[in-house]
Amino acid sequence: MGQPMSARYPLLAALSLLLMACMVFSTPLIAPSPTPSATSTPSSTSTPTFTSTPSPTPTPSFTPTPALPIQPELDSYAPDFSLSGVDGNTYTLWSLRGRPVILNFWATWCHWCKIEMAGMDNIYNKYKDERGLLILAIDGDGESFSDISEFLEENWYSFPFLVDTSRDINDTYEIEAFPTSFFIDSYGVIRYMNEGSLEEQEFEQILTDYIFPYSPFQYNPATPTPVQDPLNMTPSAARGAELNLPGEIWSANITKSHIYDHNIVSDVEFTDFSMQVDVRIESETSEYHGLLFREQDGENFYTFRITPDGYYEFDVWKTGDRSYETILGPLASDHILKGAGKTNQLKVIANGQTFELYINDNFVGSITDDTFASGRVGLLSCTCDGSSNASATFMDLWVQGNP
């Protein structure tokens, strides 16, 4: 039996990311194990109707909630960083949104760090493909690339080791002892923190109880750019959902014509909601990128999309064969920032059969249609007009509503 476990801080009492509109959901606490050892760091279908005139519209009844704080604490977004790995790759935390991550702060001289690494390696190899788990071992003592490389020559592990010679990330995460681990779910939220060495079965328990319930998507390692599902919420957590996610959410890259790619980011269905996203279109081709909502089965949904040359439209996909019916548009809009590399904000407010559409905070149309009463929400990129090489980056997504 190895060293037992304890949490660095009290265990998370409420597992929801979300502020509840009608009720608060909480989850039972798991009793902590006894205290582990740690090494202190050295000091240092009716006929649709629409209007497209930018006439005044009532103030929406939905407003986004503030983002969770960005700090190295429970129930907070883990602070972003970018570090080089000994493997030659650069790892930026927020670009990993959609994958569960363990940050492990360690040092080459730390005895208890070495004790837990074999179990960490087993956990990493078990879940890296099945659940997309990534473990990042950050040298928190400012040791050099050569110091870490020399350590790995004698102690080879398959997860990435990162170099932080300035100790900036160590200071950002307020590390006081080695090893210290942060367990981060696929939304980028810290769900568990542990100061001290953990055994393999303890890593397994924390992941099972605290991380995987909020990281339910199936990671596909064969996909060049992994599909990320940061809003893949559990049904109980999504009722009356309010969520604000900073940073990059999803990148789409399509190289074939007449193809669309969509990323469903909620497991639950929404009826009335408000959702918004920033989208940066990376190429000049006339592809469409935007929001999809009230999705039924992967083939049937509504979309609100824009092109890099300044057009937008509202469509209903309901044939099951990846074809669609345009309800509004395509219409030119001066509110769209045109050209590759420009970022535009899209927003939809859905109330019953009515959809209000906004581009960069400007009202551009209202749709009435009853094809789909409810469904899931997500993001979509499309080369539907025959173009190819569609590419876009989606950022700063928030959704609020009543599923």
pLDDT digits (tens, 9 = 90+) for 215-249: 654 444 433 333 333 343 333 333 345 566 667 78
- What distance in Å separates the CA atoms of residue 337 and residue 36, rounded to the nearest whole number? 55
- Strands, E assignment, 59-169: 82-85, 90-92, 101-106, 134-139, 161-163
Q: Which of 161, 167, 192 is nearest to 72 (CA)?
A: 192
CATH superfamily of 235-402: Exo-inulinase; domain 1 (2.60.120.560)
CA-CA-CA-CA torsion for 237, 241, 242, 244, nearest 10 degrees? 60
pTM of structure: 0.48
pLDDT at 235: 32
Does pLDDT of 58 surpass 90?
no
- As annotated, the residues of the chain forming the CATH 3.40.30.10 domain(s) are 1-35+72-222
CA distances from 281 to 76, 83, 159, 381, 382 (A): 30, 27, 33, 10, 12
Which DSSP helix (H) or strand (E) runs through 203? helix 200-206
Segment 385-400, tens digit of pLDDT: 777 888 899 988 888 7
For residues 174 and 398, the model is more confident at 174
Paired strand residues for 252:
392
pLDDT at 217: 44
- As annotated, the residues of the chain forming the CATH 2.60.120.560 domain(s) are 235-402
Domain at 1-35+72-222: CATH architecture: 3-Layer(aba) Sandwich (3.40)
Sheet of 301-306: strand order equals: 260-264, 376-382, 288-295, 301-306, 311-317, 325-332
**Contacts (Cβ under 8 Å, ≥6 apart) of 46:** 369, 370
* Confidence label for 99 from pLDDT (cuts 50, 70 and 90): confident
Segment 126-152, tens digit of pLDDT: 998 888 899 999 999 999 999 999 999
Q: What percent of the chain has pLDDT over 70?
A: 72
pLDDT at 245: 67
